[in-house]
Amino acid sequence: MEDLTGRRIVVVTGASSGIGLAAAVDLARRGDQVVLVGRDPARLQAAAEQVREASGERPELFRADFAVLDDVRRLAGKLREAYDRIDVLANNAGAIALQPLTTVDGFELSIQANHLAPFLLSNLLRDRIGRMVVTASGAHRSGVLDPADLNAALRRYRPMQAYGTSKQANILFTAEAARRWPEIPAYSFHPGVVRSRFGNDNRLVALGMRILPLRSPEKGAETLVWLANQDPERLVTGGYHVDRRLRRPLPRATDPQLAARLWTASAEAVGVAG
């Protein structure tokens, strides 16, 4: 599966629906070789058909559940075997839970699926990645991240606070990756509140998303696609973006000391070198 055409290879996680699928379709139409990563095999197959219909080429598919870190490790191994480079890694997969849930790895679901899993994947693929785009959220404002206690949300669980904490981690991780890996341009962005399958298993979130003004997945994916295509000389690596513009997140999400502490704690949690 190694690319021999000179086309870019773009890996999109959370690609079976919503923003990830919309971005994959757009990128494939532009001529990129897209690689879809998702949890559900049937939805991955359906997503592949949409990409094929839009671009004339069926993408490669990889299944992985980010609630299982061994799945992420297997995914990284398979991607390394398949590609000698990954021009763009779009860390887009995400999860939210109404009830406090602990993964098989012992972490609160939101912090693992939204932060620890992409942190692990990015570290395992570091020498392959040409550029990294991370789907964060304006919900980071509700986060109360404590790197010394990544499971703090489990003790007094509030779904949006737990989700916001994981999104705060996304922004901090992106900024710290830019400092530690200067050879890899890294960007995070807020897609807006998007009409998608996200939160469908959560009745409270699903109700809220019916009430809020929603964007289409295509609109939500615009900034992801833009960040994947812009000349890095025109962007600020480590920056947070909204509607294709650089924005300053909550001050706590710009704290380099907090970002460094989070990196160290995350590396220890997933078992990679800090």
The catalytic residue positions are 163
Cβ pair 241, 251 in contact under 8 A: no
Cβ pair 226, 245 in contact under 8 A: no
In the sheet that holds 88-91, the strands lie side by side as: 60-63, 33-38, 9-13, 88-91, 132-135, 186-190, 240-242, 245-247
Cβ pair 272, 120 in contact under 8 A: yes
Pairwise CA distance, residues 228 & 132, whole Å: 8
Q: Which residues contact 7 (CB under 8 A, 6 or more apart)?
A: 31, 32, 33
Tokens standing for residue 265:
């704690």
Pairwise CA distance, residues 228 & 90, whole Å: 8
Q: Which residues contact 146 (CB under 8 A, 6 or more apart)?
A: 152
Cβ pair 198, 96 in contact under 8 A: yes
Pairwise CA distance, residues 159 & 243, whole Å: 26
Element (DSSP H or E) covering residue 38: strand 33-38
Element (DSSP H or E) covering residue 186: strand 186-190
The three-class DSSP label of residue 215 is strand
Pairwise CA distance, residues 269 & 23, whole Å: 30
